Amino acid sequence: MSLPDDRVTDWARVFRPRSVALVGVSGRPGHPMARPLEWLRDRGYAGRVLPVNPKYSELGSLPCHADLAAVPGPVDLVLCLTPAENVVATVEAAGAVGAAAVVVFASGFAEVGADGAALQADLVAAARAAGVRVIGPNCQGLFVARSRLFATFSAAAARPLETGSGIAYVGQSGAVGGSLLDLAAARGLDLSAWVSTGNQADVDLTEIGRVLVADPEIRVLAMYTESLPRGEDYARLAVEAEAAGTALVVLRSGRSETGRRAALSHTGAMLGDHPAFDLVSREHGVVLVDDVEEMLAAAALLRGQARPTGRRVAVLTSSGGAGILAADRCADADLSVPQLSSATQEALTALVPSFGAVQNPVDVTAQQFNDGGDAFARVCATVRADASIDAVVVVLTMLVGEVARTLAVDLARVVRDAPAGAPPLVVVWMAGEDATAEARRILTDAGVPVLSSVALAARVLGAAAPSPVASPVAVDGASVGGFADGWELLARLGVRTPEAVLIESAEAAAAAVAKVGGRAVLKAVAPGLEHKTELGGVRLDVPADRAVVEAAELLSSVPGAQAVLVQEQIPGGVELLVSVTAPADGWPGVLTVGRGGTEVELHRDLAHALAPVSADTARALLSSLRCWPLLAGHRGAPARDVEAAVAAVERISRAGRAPGVRELEVNPLVVGRSGAVAVDVLLDRGQSD
């Protein structure tokens, strides 16, 4: 395994150790803590296997040592199979014998509460003092196919696991990882490497991931995370995977809560998930999936075929009904099923029975398979050559036995003989696995995933293909400083705002309204008052002769009201929300644009980009919104000043670089026929308040 230069850890001693010491290994046959010794001894590991347990003089026909200090010769890797209370002493002893790392299987650390968290802190301190790395605690260890390193007790590793597929896994959950290891092996995709990181007290999954993506034998890294890694660490992994040409497939759980950050704006309440994670992933080609089946299917696709370069899918099937289902599921995944070119349709006419279909979906009918020959393979090759297609889904129904085997051989040849970069091909076989087992194996060996449903195929292709809206890339932006509040910040950014006067008494209202144009919007000002409309804190289109009465009512009816902001009444237009959050926790800042106003939560018409952005990116975000037709001119309505909106979005996005800004939200930005005006703003300074 080719490993990156790392000043802290010699990862070669972890992934292909010359010796493995098993501290606290069990002598009870069948016990989970006895498995690593049995597997290391019997399954091809070439290094020294060193049992350590003072209860035994021999285990598994190997000398058993009383403690690590009694082990002869150097120790590269230590497996700690002791209870939690003995782990710190084991780590200290591992450092004394010069081990590179300790894998801690025991639970009872931070996952169980305050006492466990304190014990985990002691573990980390001991590891740093001893100069060893710790994988775990509360993990299930690791497996490396090439070195036959079975440093795990996971029951999934009981499978033969004799060949490496080029797919590796790293994840926090041993159980989820064990499921992936088992499912992959059952489908002929023995993993090349597998690592469970558990509580990640020291080594986390991004560090392990960087080791794995640097290995030229690893073509796909599947990663499962229960909590967000540090932003810069995840971005570094994604960049290195992209540079190495290693596909990175990520499954993240807990997305309804993880990454949520308390914010005082509408935007903060609606973001819910962590858009910076999604945007960084998209920028570097990470494939984000929603469950273990999708993760395995995506890995199976990407290990042997090119990624789709677009979202246009051709469906080939032996059943018209199955083709319709596939087209429907493609639509659900934002994939299109376009008509094939006239040249392709003409070529298919000679191959498909006259009562079939050649437009897309292509229905070759069951008759084609009854006639024998390789006509279906030629159909596939013809469709894959169509320049208007980015991926092919083959949906097969009850084709079994020898017909299935022959078809699989033909399809495998189509994939192997295709030029580099040909559209990927996925097979959905709607027949029993027992009746199609050999055919499935043939296709799997050829790098063609065989999936269980058209919905799964569509989701996987949708995840692997470029986003329907190209990921806008952040640009450098100048820092902005020296502002007292959100309004002054907008002024320094060059964003137009209404003329305004702040008054502290109702008697001053009439003169203030006259000053801003004769008709005005009155807004109550109170500490902590963010969403004024909900509390009746806004009065619209107030003339000067009503201003005193309206201002007095606001000051008396809105809790805590201390003043009234009298603003120029801006003509109506399309209302947008524009918000920018500052970089935090190693993640870049995020710009959000969407339909604004008082019904912003109802519409949830939002688009995100890493901040700050260019004008081109701002325009792309706006045009991706469902409300875009309102800006462009809907059903004969006059178009709004899109260029003014673009300029405002681009300028507001720079606020992420302003010191003392956690979030700036403009809602609404009113886009009229001429100009765009920010008529309300919220500024969250976070800890700087």
Q: Let me know if residue 6 belongs to a domain.
A: no
Residues 60 and 138 both lie in one domain: yes
Domain boundary among 233, 268, 300: 300
Phi-psi region of 518 (alpha: psi -120 to 50; beta: other; left: phi over 0): left
Assign 3-class secondary structure to 110-167. Answer: HHHCHHHHHHHHHHHHHHHHHCCEEECCCCCEEEECCCCEEEECCHHHHCCCCCCCCE
CA dist 387 → 27, 390, 442 (Å): 63, 8, 27
Which DSSP state fits 357?
B
> Any idea what the CATH number is for the domain that residue 595 is in?
3.30.470.20
Which CATH number characterizes residue 505's domain? 3.30.1490.20
- Per residue in 187-200, pLDDT (tens digit) is 999 999 999 999 99
What distances in angstroms separate CA 582 from CA 276, 282, 378, 610, 662, one per listed residue? Answer: 11, 19, 54, 10, 5
Per-residue model confidence (pLDDT) at position 255: 62
Per-residue pLDDT, 470: 59
Report yes or no on 405 lying in a domain: yes
Round to whole Å and give the CA distance between 44 and 149: 8
Decide if 539 is inside a domain.
yes
Q: Are residues 509 and 597 in the same domain?
A: no
What is the average per-residue pLDDT within 395-417?
90
- pLDDT tens, position by position, 409-422: 999 999 998 888 89
475 occurs within a structural domain = no
Give the pLDDT of residue 224.
Answer: 95
Q: Retrieve residue 642's tokens.
A: 């899109």
Check whether residue 550 and residue 582 sit in a common domain: no
Q: Please tell me whether residues 183 and 293 are part of one structural domain.
A: yes
Supply the mean pLDDT for the chain: 90
Residue 268 clears pLDDT 50, i.e. is over it: no
| Whether residues 320 and 236 fall in one domain | no
Check pLDDT > 50 for residue 272: no
pLDDT of residue 421: 84
pLDDT at site 369: 75
C-alpha dist (Å) from residue 189 to 80, 569, 614: 29, 66, 44
E strands, 376-533, are: 391-396, 425-429, 450-451, 500-503, 519-525
Beta-carbon-side half-sphere exposure of residue 362 (alpha carbons within 13 Å): 32
Once rounded to an integer, what is the mean pLDDT over residues 235-241?
96
- Going by their DSSP bridges, the two strands 101-104 and 167-171 should be labelled as unpaired
Q: What is the pLDDT of residue 531?
A: 66
Q: Examine the domain organization and report whether 363 and 280 are in the same domain.
A: no
Q: What is the mean pLDDT of residues 230-259?
A: 86
663 vs 674: CA distance, rounded Å: 28
Note whether 666 and 490 are within 8 A (CB): yes
The reply to whether 484 falls in a domain is no
Q: Which of 568, 597, 616 is the last residue of a domain?
A: 568
**Whether residue 460 is found in the same domain as residue 347:** yes
Residues 55 and 166 in one domain: yes
Cis peptide bond upstream of 668, omega within 30? yes
Nearest to 314 by CA among 219, 386, 415, 236: 386
Tell me what the mean pLDDT of segment 432-454 comes to.
92
596 and 544 in a single domain? The answer is no
Three-class SS state of 13 = helix
What CATH number does residue 350 fall under?
3.40.50.261
**3-state DSSP assignment of residue 172:** coil
Band (pLDDT 50/70/90 cuts) for residue 319 is: confident
Do 314 and 296 lie in one domain? The reply is: no
Say what percent of the chain tops pLDDT 70: 93
560 Rama sector, left if φ>0, alpha if ψ -120 to 50, beta otherwise: left
**HEC profile of 211-222:** HHHCCCCCCEEE
Could you tell me the CATH number of the domain that includes residue 294? 3.40.50.720
CA distances from 154 to 19, 83, 157, 179 (A): 21, 17, 6, 10
pLDDT-derived band at 6, boundaries 50, 70, 90: very low
The pLDDT of residue 481: 66
Confidence label for 597 from pLDDT (cuts 50, 70 and 90) = confident
Q: Is the pLDDT reported for residue 235 higher than 50?
A: yes
- pLDDT of 217 above 60: yes
Report the range of poorest mean pLDDT among 325-334, 427-436, 460-469, 528-537: 528-537
Phi, psi of 314 (to 5 degrees): -100, 135
Residue 657 lies in a domain: yes
3-state secondary structure of 541: strand
What interhelical angle do 375-384 and 401-417 show, nearest 10?
30
Q: What is the pLDDT averaged over residues 375-382?
A: 91
Report the pLDDT averaged over residues 617-629. 95
> What pLDDT score was predicted for residue 534?
65
Tell how many helices (H) and how many strands (E) occur in the chain: 24, 29
**Mean pLDDT, rounded, for 169-183:** 92
Q: What is the pLDDT of residue 266?
A: 32
Mean pLDDT of 568-582: 93
Residue 486 domain flag = no
- SS3 at position 411: helix
Name the least confident of 2-6, 50-54, 93-97: 2-6
Domain count, the chain: 4
Residue 1 pLDDT greater than 80, yes or no: no
Last residue of one domain, picked from the residues 271, 300, 329:
300
Indicate whether 469 pLDDT > 80. Answer: no
Round to the nearest angstrom and report the end-to-end CA distance of the chain.
51
Interval 332-371: pLDDT, tens = 999 999 999 999 999 999 898 888 899 999 998 877 777 6
What is the rounded CA–CA span in Å between residue 275 and residue 287?
15
Helices (H), 533-641: 544-557, 600-603, 615-624, 628-632
- Is residue 203 located within the same domain as residue 264? yes
pLDDT at 473: 66
pLDDT of residue 644: 97
3-state helix, strand, coil in the chain (%, to 5): 40, 20, 40
Kindly tell me the sign of the dihedral angle through the C-alpha atoms of 654, 658, 664, 670: negative
- Give me the mean pLDDT over the 511-519 stretch: 93
pLDDT (0 to 100) of residue 265: 36
The confidence score (pLDDT) of residue 679 equals 92
What residues make up the domain containing 547?
499-568
Mean pLDDT of 27-37: 91
CA separation for the pair 76, 94 (Å, rounded): 9
Q: Is residue 136 part of a domain?
A: yes
Q: 426 and 287 in one domain?
A: no
How would residue 658 be classed by pLDDT, with cut points 50, 70 and 90? confident
